[in-house]
Chain A
Amino acid sequence: MIDPARFRSDFPILGREINGRPMAFLDSAASSQKPAQVIDAMMDVYRNSYANVHRGAYTLSQEATEAYEGARRKVARFLNAAAPEEVVFTRNTTAAINQFAYGWGLGNLKPGDRVLTSVMEHHSNIVPWHIIARHTGAELSFLDITGDFRIDLQKAQDRFDERVKIVSLSGMSNVLGIMPPIGEIARLAREVGAVMLVDGAQMVPHSPVDVQEMGADFLAFSGHKMLGPTGIGVLWGRRELLEKMEPMEGGGEMIREVQLFESTWAPVPQKFEAGTPPFVEAIGLGAAVDYLSEIGMDQILEHDRQLTSYALDRLEEVPGLSIQGPANTIDRGGVVSFDIPGIHAHDIATILDQHGVAVRAGHHCAQPLMRHLGLAATTRASFYLYNSEDDIDALVDALGVARRLFGLD
């Protein structure tokens, strides 16, 4: 059982007051805060070991290269990947999905082929497919959600046929918090010969992941949602598929040999890492992975679950409030979206901010899902290891102020 008070002191920013109140940071699903261990690891590189990687034969470059490749090994262990070479560093989840969409989709999709995703996806797992569909003539197809906010597995069966070549699905919804049965869907994908990517932007920071067990072929996620810095993300892929996939970007670092009229690629993962990589950020992500591993991802999942359970109970006390997501914590992460008729989400967020409570308001980059829910915007509170029940109490208190201010009491 996690004691958040034990971790809070590792996060310098959480000591801040916002508008005269202790900060209740409830927006980790957008981006998490950073512990001193991550900040210090990056500062240490800039202060002591900074030089470009994979180039110099001098000491500093060797140190930076070793730290960068060390971060790759840490991430590989964190995911239980078969080899560090299966870990491609990218800018973030979006860049990782785009690398897969362009690198795999452009060469493998024909008119009439299908890309299967779901109505609950983040724009970063919809818009790249719009682009690829335009280039290839492939079609998109969508898994539905049920009335109780779950992926409709019954209907899902019908979506899988030999036309489906790519399945790209979120491992945890950034709005509903649900964690779809990835293993089951990966099995359906395999049966029709489709290649499957999991958008792990929310899942990887909040639950244990074993890519060899998961059943999918690719996994995309960001460092900044899991205590790491911005500017670094990961595309994990099965080695034999990475070897077949085309790079999306060309440039230095990713080549074997360049002639005037053609060039050949470096082996994986370098062929996907054109240009000077964000290696200081990768080292920061390595420190974040160390931090999370020491606590244990199963512990973090359980902590999030308990906070979600508490939040669902407390939010039920707010008259008129409706939860947009399952009312229980089964297969559900620490994200709670809600709507209060009569107060728009932006107004709620402004009022909460005046009480030191940071939440996200809006469509959460999931417009198709919002349309499906019949809402223009929701307010979202999301939890991480540094949150406690006090943060949720502050949220519920401030919601009371919002209701009074808008004359709902």
Chain B
Amino acid sequence: MASLEELYREVILDHYRSPRNRRVLERSNAGADGSNPLCGDEVRVDLLIEAGVITDIGVTGHGCSISQASGSMMGDAVKAKALDEVCRLTDRFKGMMSIEGAADPGLDPERPGAVLGDLEALQGVRKFPVRIKCADLPWTTLEEALGIYESG
């Protein structure tokens, strides 16, 4: 049962119960909807991008604790970040969530405190392969929003 506690770390349940950045932005210039049609998790990411920096983010939706906590943490992690940094962070996160990424401990070393710790709490999900896509969903949706922003 040890792995259950690894999956449902207190910090994940805290983000699930009290999600951060959970609002519809009054002003935004990028956004996307993401869903896992097989399980029904849904995430909406709205962004305000100014001078190449994500100055505001809203993450809404509904789904399991992992998808919603991941979205909440993601919002904290990418806010006030330049887009190239966000891309690096996204790659790092996805790398961490893949089996091969197990050895990479370094998530955003420049940002001290809660954010790094919070995101790393999701590593426990790797032991539950069917749930990895739940953790990835907000990040995939963020990538899609940025893709739409950059192409249009």
Residues of chain A at the chain B interface (Cβ within 8 Å): 343-347, 350-351, 354, 361-363, 367, 370, 376-377, 405-407
Pick the residue among A344, A351, A407 that contacts B4 (CB under 8 A).
A351
Q: Which of B59-67, B79-87, B99-107, B115-123 contacts A (4 or more CB under 8 A)?
A: B59-67
Query: What 0/1 readout, one digit per residue, does chain B (34-46) give for beta carbons within 8 Å of chain A?
Result: 0000111110000
Taking the closest CB of chain B, its distance from the CB of A177, in whole angstroms, is: 20
The answer to the question of B27 belonging to the interface, with a C-beta cut-off of 8 Å to chain A, is no
- Cβ-defined contact, B63 with A354, below 8 A: no
Pick the residue among B3, B39, B62, B131 that contacts A354 (CB under 8 A).
B3
Taking the closest CB of chain A, its distance from the CB of B129, in whole angstroms, is: 11
Interfacial chain A residues near B3, Cβ < 8 Å: 354
Please measure, in the bound complex, the distance between the C-alpha atom of A362 and the C-alpha atom of B134, giving whole angstroms: 13
Interfacial chain B residues near A370, Cβ < 8 Å: 40
Can you pick out 23 interface pairs between chain A and chain B where the beta carbons lie within 8 Å of each other?
A343-B65, A344-B63, A344-B65, A346-B41, A346-B64, A346-B66, A346-B134, A347-B8, A347-B64, A350-B4, A350-B128, A351-B4, A354-B1, A354-B3, A361-B39, A362-B38, A367-B40, A370-B40, A376-B42, A377-B39, A405-B4, A405-B13, A406-B13
Q: A344-B63, A361-B39, A362-B38 are in contact. Are A350 and B131 (CB under 8 A)?
A: yes
Interfacial chain A residues near B73, Cβ < 8 Å: none
Q: How many B residues touch the partner, as a band?
A: 20 to 34
Interfacial chain B residues near A350, Cβ < 8 Å: 4, 7, 128, 131
Q: A344-B63, A344-B64, A346-B64 are in contact. Are A354 and B4 (CB under 8 A)?
A: yes
Taking the closest CB of chain A, its distance from the CB of B80, in whole angstroms, is: 30
- Cβ-defined contact, A377 with B40, below 8 A: yes
Interfacial chain B residues near A376, Cβ < 8 Å: 40, 42, 62-63
Taking the closest CB of chain B, its distance from the CB of A404, in whole angstroms, is: 11
Taking the closest CB of chain B, its distance from the CB of A162, in whole angstroms, is: 38
Which one of B4, B5, B63 has the greatest number of beta carbons of chain A within 10 Å? B4
Residues of chain B at the chain A interface (Cβ within 8 Å): 1, 3-5, 7-8, 13, 17, 38-42, 62-66, 128, 131, 134
Closest residue of chain B to A407 (Cβ to Cβ) is B13
Taking the closest CB of chain B, its distance from the CB of A136, in whole angstroms, is: 27
Please measure, in the bound complex, the distance between the C-alpha atom of A345 and the C-alpha atom of B39, giving whole angstroms: 9
Closest 5 pairs between A and B when the two form their complex, measured CB to CB: A346-B64, A344-B64, A363-B40, A377-B40, A347-B65
Taking the closest CB of chain A, its distance from the CB of B146, in whole angstroms, is: 26
Interfacial chain B residues near A344, Cβ < 8 Å: 63-65
Please measure, in the bound complex, the distance between the C-alpha atom of A51 and the C-alpha atom of B98, giving whole angstroms: 45
Please measure, in the bound complex, the distance between the C-alpha atom of A142 and the C-alpha atom of B17, giving whole angstroms: 37
Taking the closest CB of chain A, its distance from the CB of B81, in whole angstroms, is: 29
Taking the closest CB of chain B, its distance from the CB of A376, in whole angstroms, is: 5
Interfacial chain A residues near B42, Cβ < 8 Å: 376
Interfacial chain A residues near B5, Cβ < 8 Å: 405
Taking the closest CB of chain A, its distance from the CB of B74, in whole angstroms, is: 18
Closest residue of chain A to B10 (Cβ to Cβ) is A407
Please measure, in the bound complex, the distance between the C-alpha atom of A351 and the C-alpha atom of B131, giving whole angstroms: 12
- Supply 20 further A-B pairs (C-beta < 8 A) apart from A347-B64, A354-B4: A343-B65, A344-B65, A346-B41, A346-B63, A347-B8, A350-B7, A354-B3, A361-B39, A362-B38, A362-B39, A363-B40, A367-B40, A370-B40, A376-B42, A376-B63, A405-B5, A405-B8, A406-B8, A406-B13, A407-B17
